[in-house]
Amino acid sequence: MNEGTAMTDERELIDRAQRGDMESFRLLVERARANVYRLAYDLTSNRHDAEDLSQEVFLKVYRSLQQFRGDAKWSSWLYRITVNTCCDHYKSGTTKIMKRTEDIENDKSNNIFCSDAALPDKSANAKMIQENIDRALHQLTSRERSVFVLRHYHDLPLKQIAETLEITDGTVKTLLFRAIQKLRQELAFYKNDLGLEG
């Protein structure tokens, strides 16, 4: 299935879901579940929170489905709801900053800095470095963290990040610059391992 067909199919599913077709909504949820969960996990650094927040996101999506008009991409709209839900959760003070040990071991693919080549003794080193990355990410403002995660963990182009967060491209660039500067400062001890020098 090419991208054009996939987009048409997605639009048809959205239209049907908006008319009350629960099977179409279920298919939309199934397609988006992994990306929503991964974004929630990257923003909260906690598997349990990410699972709970993903469910909350899809409840919000269902309740506000009629408001989706296609002005933004469906994926951007889902990301926006996910980011806002996670930010609200973070503001409530209930997010655990530390990843559980099993999360670090099972989810090393989300680590944008550490590579196997950079970590000869990775089993011990990776956990310690990942814990410090998590702490550093949570020193950022929620908006800085959202921009950084969307760009570097999810590879979204700046324009889509701007669309997702409903801010200008220039603001995205500013927030991304600030985030990187703060992370460099927080993670200065690891700058050689993480490629943050310069």
Residue-level pLDDT at 198: 43
| % of the chain exceeding 70 in pLDDT | 74
Element containing residue 157 per DSSP (H, E): none
Whole-model pTM?
0.76
Cβ–Cβ under 8 Å, residues 159 and 165: no
pLDDT digits (tens, 9 = 90+) for 164-190: 999 999 999 999 999 999 998 888 866
Residues 6 or more apart from 163 whose CB is under 8 A from it?
72, 73, 76
Spell out the domain ranges in the chain. Answer: 1-96, 99-198
To the question of domain 1-96 being in CATH 1.10.1740.10, the answer is yes
Supply 156's token pair.
Answer: 């979204």
To the question of domain 99-198 being in CATH 1.20.1250.20, the answer is no
pLDDT digits (tens, 9 = 90+) for 51-94: 999 999 999 999 999 999 888 899 999 999 999 999 888 776 55
1-96 shares its CATH topology with 99-198: no
